[in-house]
Amino acid sequence: MKVRRYLPILFCLIATLTQASDPFDRRQRQTGAPMDTAIATSLCRRDVATLAPKTPINQLKIIGVIIQFEQAKVLFSSPDQTVISASKGDNIGQEKMQIAQISTHQIQLLNWQNSVDCRQAETVLLKF
């Protein structure tokens, strides 16, 4: 008898909780934009074509890696929900970082911004 009395309350509670935690509800998405930081442009690689040249590298999300035979590609998602496919040697982001190596657990990027003589770049590892 007591179970039947509490059953409607339990159903209302479950329905409210599932609606409150809906990840696909547009009203609950984060609307605040990430903080913008000043990005220095490099003099070393400014004439090279770049993927997503207006998007900072910290705003690009790694979706996945495709490795097929000897070719490897990494898939990025930009803040405007476009998918970017990049391979070894491509430059990506507003910082124009060069993709040096792609593996199943990490991506090695070369940052030419801090290079004085354009011969030695800083290595940046993106692990996922």
The pLDDT tens digits for 44-95 are 766 678 899 999 999 999 999 999 988 999 999 999 989 999 999 999 998 8
- Tell me the β-bridge partners of 99: 109
Q: Rounded to two decimals, what is the model's pTM?
A: 0.63
Q: In total, how many domains does the chain have?
A: 1
Within-domain flag for 23: no
In which domain, by residue range, is 80 found?
42-128
Give me the CATH number covering residue 57.
2.30.30.830
Query: Are 29 and 21 contacting, i.e. CB atoms less than 8 angstroms apart?
Result: no
Within-domain flag for 11: no
Distance CA 67, CA 73 (A): 6
Within-domain flag for 5: no
The pair phi, psi for residue 95, each rounded to 5°, is -80, -10
- What digits encode the pLDDT tens for the residues 102-111? 998 899 999 8
Within-domain flag for 29: no
Within-domain flag for 1: no
The pair phi, psi for residue 10, each rounded to 5°, is -65, -45
Within-domain flag for 123: yes
